[in-house]
Structure 1
């Protein structure tokens, strides 16, 4: 069994090294060129349609508001990658890794936009009258690859069993360490919470995530900004470190072992790709339920996700670590504690631990709620709505198993199954890039016509 575990570990290490980085990064670059860098050219318009309309109501077809769909998708990306992943990137790649995290975010915007756009374009109503979509639908309906769509759906359905266990174990470990509560009690409480929310479907999930995700982001950011306020004089130097060491090595200092340019690029790209989940195919499953009258408009919310997750939250985390000096005092093996240590001078050791533990707890709770929904939709695509309810019970049961550390051998397949999800999705995005460009051009052509008509009306009114 040990040899088998080592073989799986080596295989996933190879897959999630250069091959996966080339697929995700290369695919994002191709889509960026294919769409003529629209995420940069039209950024002001994209921001006005997302940040500017977060609480706008819509009568367009769909089950939840665009913002609810986005917070549901954000629920599966916000959390450990932002609070723990960023310190790991800095510990192993140096401050310059953050520059490459930003770079991959700009590229990932095109990927996330394309996923969400296709999810809306190829969505359909299920037996219960809800809008459903995602990679399994655009692979099937857009390319006619039924077997590939079923492979994606089956791989994601199984992957979520392992993912739920890992997330649940993370919650149990955090709660036990911070509050001394038994993992079994934590498991039962989480099971009940997840069961109650997921029972109401995407509408219930949307309402919960719409309130909980912004609350948790604000809690974390306010705590982080308090640290930055105390260390405000160090912020320019922190940005200087990021830009300077993106292309030049940095020597060892304190607990930091030093890093070359290759390490900065490798860890910045890896953490960036993992953080925003662009290309993984999960976000469009949530977005496909959104009320929207044009696929491109919902695609902008995919870009909104990347901005919030990577360019805002991850950047704030990085600045907290760099300005506080925590990255020079703590070694790579304890990198996950950097944010807590950075908060300690402002909030004290006890309160800092509670802030981070509470934020992680609720981030992970919302993640579990959303990925259970994702798993249900895969089961529904493969076997119908009745079987999706069966899988819901499987996922909820796996929460308790995960909290007590059971069936750990299944966890070993997590990265391998995730690769089976990413590969067909990215290939489909590349083959459907022409459709993405056509729909995008349609939106901006109509927008341009509206602008021209408005100018004519204003000119006539003036005359």
Structure 2
């Protein structure tokens, strides 16, 4: 379970997030980012180069402070939106998110699923990864080390994630459309022409996207004629990231505009090397990057996110490779470590150019595979844990 989760938590989403953020900020192609960082990761975990790992260990705490400063710069620049943001968080926690701006809305189930999904990924609570690191710490009291580990989910999720959420909400970027390249799994062609300024259309799309009424809309099946990257056919609507896509361009690769006929089956284009771009909502690292430009630092704010994310994610990838190493050593012995490391680096490179939604889906499955057995173990050991804590506190009081 730890080996699988090392890819789902410390590898695939980290690489994908870095590539997405760097592309949004600097315009570098994901394959370039993945290749360069893959080489660096290989040098660290295959070649045993300690300087890069030591460098990130020193820089990450400084970067965390810079990230907080950048986040607060956005929050204070949009201070008038903080109250409504908190109100939206509290109300939407029980009702789901209503349609607003370009956002077609989300149900309570969808919001809960995404929130728990990203929350577990963020703090790794109950996953069982933290004990691998804390077991290497030198301490006289195992219980005291456990107390230290309890602070991590609080700082990470309650403080950092709340601040990041306020940045996104207060800046208003969450319901705005931005130019981006669409992930295949986020795209959906549906029958009929829908518009955001028509309430009836929004309600039908909301019901369909949230699986309230799957008969409200039918996925598009047919062909689309495209000339110089622009579709000239009608009778369909392209949805991307829970919004109606605008100014859509079709190309082969990133440069050659497509001309010809596209076959759409069950709402998805059959042409595999097709790149679709345009204006729509964005999510994940790209959304946070845009949000950081709405503060006192202006466009410079995006560099804080991109560089910070690169350092955070890269150091996380290094740490999880260690977790996987320990698990492989336990399961198959020391000789199995090198093949694991090679596959780990290959996965890191692959994820940089992969579909973001697919990567997060794989991550969610991997987290579950590791978390469930660990939670059962915690339940079985709960009596011993309680006895250890009671003994620890009794000695502390004396």
- 1:335 to 2:283 alignment: yes
- Which of 128, 153, 157 is the aligned partner of 2:3? 157
Matches within 5 A, 1:73-88: none
- Which of 62, 66, 88 is the aligned partner of 1:219? 66
Matching residue of 2:388: 439
Matching residue of 1:425: 374
CA distance in 2, matches of 1:266, 1:400: 28
Matching residue of 2:213: none
Pair 1:376–1:421, CA change in 2 (3 A): same
| Residue 168 of structure 1, CA deviation | 3.1
Pair 1:382–1:203, CA change in 2 (3 A): farther
Gaps of 5+ in 2: 178-240, 243-280
Give the SS at the match of 1:334: coil
Write out per-residue CA displacement over residues 272-301 of structure 1, whole angstroms, 9 at most, x where no aligned residue: 333212122212111111121111211122
> Is the 2:24–2:289 contact (alpha carbons within 8 Å) kept by the matching residues of 1?
no
| Residue 312 of structure 1, CA deviation | 0.8
Matches within 5 A, 1:12-411: 155-161=1-7, 164-165=11-12, 167-181=14-28, 183=30, 185-198=32-45, 207-208=54-55, 210-247=57-94, 251-258=98-105, 261=108, 264-329=111-176, 332=242, 333-336=281-284, 337-346=286-295, 350-403=299-352
Pair 1:235–1:298, CA change in 2 (3 A): same
Matching residue of 2:217: none
Write out per-residue CA displacement over residues 89-146 of structure 1, whole angstroms, 9 at most, x where no aligned residue: xxxxxxxxxxxxxxxxxxxxxxxxxxxxxxxxxxxxxxxxxxxxxxxxxxxxxxxxxx
Give the SS at the match of 2:136: coil
Gaps of 5+ in 1: 1-154, 450-463
| Residue 400 of structure 1, CA deviation | 3.8
CA distance in 2, matches of 1:224, 1:390: 40
| Residue 192 of structure 1, CA deviation | 4.1
CA distance in 1, matches of 2:83, 2:22: 36
| Residue 204 of structure 1, CA deviation | 7.7
| Residue 334 of structure 1, CA deviation | 1.7
Write out per-residue CA displacement over residues 286-319 of structure 1, whole angstroms, 9 at most, x where no aligned residue: 1111121111211122221111111111110122
CA distance in 1, matches of 2:32, 2:135: 35
CA distance in 1, matches of 2:91, 2:52: 43
Pair 1:231–1:273, CA change in 2 (3 A): same
CA RMSD of aligned residues (A): 3.6
Give the SS at the match of 1:354: helix
| Residue 259 of structure 1, CA deviation | 5.0
| Residue 437 of structure 1, CA deviation | 0.8
> Is the 1:198–1:204 contact (alpha carbons within 8 Å) kept by the matching residues of 2?
no
| Residue 427 of structure 1, CA deviation | 0.9
Pair 1:348–1:389, CA change in 2 (3 A): same
Write out per-residue CA displacement over residues 13-51 of structure 1, whole angstroms, 9 at most, x where no aligned residue: xxxxxxxxxxxxxxxxxxxxxxxxxxxxxxxxxxxxxxx
Higher helix share: 1
Matching residue of 1:121: none
Matching residue of 2:210: none
> How does the TM-score come out when normalised to structure 2?
0.62
Pair 1:338–1:373, CA change in 2 (3 A): same
Write out per-residue CA displacement over residues 145-165 of structure 1, whole angstroms, 9 at most, x where no aligned residue: xxxxxxxxxx33245356635
> How does the TM-score come out when normalised to structure 1?
0.54
| Residue 328 of structure 1, CA deviation | 4.1
CA distance in 2, matches of 1:271, 1:400: 22
CA distance in 1, matches of 2:354, 2:50: 32
